[in-house]
Every structure is written in C-alpha cells, then in structure tokens.
Structure 1
Amino acid sequence: MRAAWLRSWRADVALRVVGVVLGCVAHAAFGRLLALPAPARAVGAGAYALAALGFLSASAACALAIFGKHLFDQIEVSARWRPRGD
C-alpha cells in the first residue's frame, strides 16, 4: 500500500508542497544568518547551524519541488556500475 501511495497524485502534490515549505525554511534561515551582526556571523555555532539548516533545506527543497513523486523512480544502472556476483 505504501508503494501505491507514492505513485498517486496526492503524493506528488504533498512532496512538492513539502519542497516549497523547505524552500521557505531555507529562506528564513539565510535571512536570519545575514541579519546577525558581522562578528557573530563570522564565528559561532549558531551561524554554522543556520548555514547548515539553510543549505540542507534548500537542497531538499530543490529535489522535492522539481521531482515530486519521481524522486523515487527506479533507474537502470549500467552493467559497469552493477555489483559483480563473485
């Protein structure tokens, strides 16, 4: 049932909406990072956390918003890259 749901149009819309929401999270994280005073932005765990959150959110947002349900499609791998049965 789970695999069937991933093929539905509802899953496609839900994944794309999650992608847009993650894009908003990335925008907010980078906005907060740039709003920090210059000395705090240069050094500190908070600045690194905001940068990491923004980068990971933006990366996931791009993948989800562009591919939607096709993110889970199976692809054909060349024989060169398949594991060998030694």
Structure 2
Amino acid sequence: MTYVKATNVLPEELISEIQKYIQGETIYIPKPQKAKRKWGTCSGGRKLIDERNERIKNFFEKGTSIEELAREYFLSTETIKKIVYKKQR
C-alpha cells in the first residue's frame, strides 16, 4: 500500500474538517464496496487457480484418485476433496 499526502489530493476545507477528528496520524480510507475486486483478479492468480482446479476435476472424473491428485498437485487430500466435490454456482 502506498501513502498519499492529503494536501496533494484533498481540498483544504475537507482537510480542516478531518483535522477536527485526527491530526498527524495515518488513516485508511477504504474503497467503496462496489470498487472492491476479488483476490487475484488483477494479478491473474485467480485465473491460474481456476484453471488448475478444472484440470483436477477432469482428472478426477476420468478416474484419478484423490490421493494421486494430492501428490501430483502438492495439495492435501482435503483440499482436493473441496475442489472435486464443490458444486457449480
């Protein structure tokens, strides 16, 4: 997370109003709920995991055991079960 100097982005009136509540401290202003993104959508990590999970499901449907998949993908058997038994949304 990077910090932005308030005087560079906020009007003086707003800074004066905020200073009634807090001065010289770091304050976090969250994004609006509609601007939030799911984990990995920017980096592409979510897409990679979704693709991996789809491969795991396909192998399982073709008869590969949960234990074999766990060894192959370096995941626990419980994680493999969550992937293969997860209901589609």
Q: As a proportion of its length, which structure holds more helix?
A: 1
TM over 0.5, yes or no? no
Higher Rg of the two aligned structures: 2
Under a length normalisation based on structure 2, what TM-score does the superposition of the two structures give? 0.29
